[in-house]
Amino acid sequence: MAPSQPTPPDRTRSGPAPRRTAGRALLWPAAAVGLGVLLIHNSLTGTPADPKPAAPPAVAVSPANLDPPVDAAPPVDAAPPAAVTPVVPGQDATASPQKQGLPRSAPKRIEIPQIGVDAPFTELTLGASGHLNPPPGNNTNLVGWYRGGASPGERGTSIVVGHVDTKTGPAVFVLLRTLKPGSKVDITRADGTVARFKVDSVETFSKAGFPDNRVYADAPTPQLRLITCGGDYNRSAHDYEANVVVFAHLASVKRPVA
């Protein structure tokens, strides 16, 4: 589904990733299209706990597979957030990150109040086959960030993935498909800033026709993609037939109070 051994762009420098003159727009997106397939292949080898979750607030769980039911996003104890102060756009050159982007900083936590998501991050890398290694399948409340791409809030396209379910039940992104344009996604970064993204659209693509250039292509402004599996579950292939993709852009930034 994707060529092996692609080279991700070097995001340690500033500016957009390198582009090729022909073929795909970037060197790494073609490999990332295998993400959704690998995500479920690595997490599900049998019947899914909930192949078609119900709309919020209820989360349907098949009693044949789980007893008792498991919540979509279990609460996680966390330290209270640091006091923050909003950045005022236009105040100075560094106060307009919506276009210029923030300095690189690893994400630490994601919050999506509308669907009850409050989860830590783990870093993801490409495996030997050129596919993105998925988050661990034994943790239902964990998301992964592809560290070879832009960090959330940095100029470019940041890729965040999470399981829709695991062998034990619904997982962190079980309700991702229910987000709407305008929904808020907050990502707390290692430098203490909180990058708030606003959802532009939520779309479902078949894995056979996944638009990798559209989803993974680099961008001149800070962009975010949230990805999980969706569509029907193919029991014979032990795989979902589609991917759910949330397209979002950086809307505002909060910085820690000095």
DSSP structure string for the chain: ---SS-----TTSSSPPP--SSSSSSSSHHHHTTHHHHHHHHH-SS--S-SSPPSSS-----TTT-SS---SS-----PPPPPEEE--TTSSGGG-HHHH-PPP--EEEEEEGGGTEEEEEEEE-B-TTSSBPPPPTT-SS-EEEETTSPPTTSSEEEEEEE-SEETTEE-TTTTGGG--TT-EEEEEETTS-EEEEEEEEEEEEEGGG--HHHHH---SSEEEEEEEEEEEEETTTTEEEEEEEEEEEEEEEEEE--
Percent of the chain predicted with pLDDT > 70: 63
pLDDT of residue 238: 85
What's the confidence (pLDDT) of residue 72?
32
- Domain at 127, CATH number: 2.40.260.10
Of residues 89 and 110, the one with the higher pLDDT is 110
Tell me what the mean pLDDT of segment 193-221 comes to.
95
pLDDT band at residue 237, thresholds of 50, 70 and 90? confident
Per-residue confidence band for 132, with pLDDT thresholds at 50, 70 and 90: confident
Please check whether residue 221 lies inside any domain of the structure: yes
The answer to whether residue 36 sits within a structural domain is yes
Q: Decide which of 228 and 70 is more confident.
A: 228
pTM for the whole structure: 0.68
199 assigned to some structural domain: yes
18 in any annotated domain? no
Say whether pLDDT at 181 is over 70.
yes
For residues 23-31, average pLDDT: 33
In a domain, 102, yes or no: yes
Residue 1 within a domain: no
In this predicted structure, what is the pLDDT of residue 247? Answer: 99
**Weakest-pLDDT range from 31-45, 140-154, 231-245:** 31-45
Task: Count how many domains the chain has.
Answer: 1
Region 208-215: what's the mean pLDDT?
93
Return the pLDDT at 107.
99
Tell me the average pLDDT of the chain: 74
- Tell me the mean pLDDT in the region 59-72: 31
- Does residue 3 sit within a domain? no
Residue 13 in any domain: the answer is no
Mean pLDDT of 10-21: 38
Average pLDDT over residues 2-7: 33
Per the structure, the complete domain to which residue 98 belongs is given by 29-256
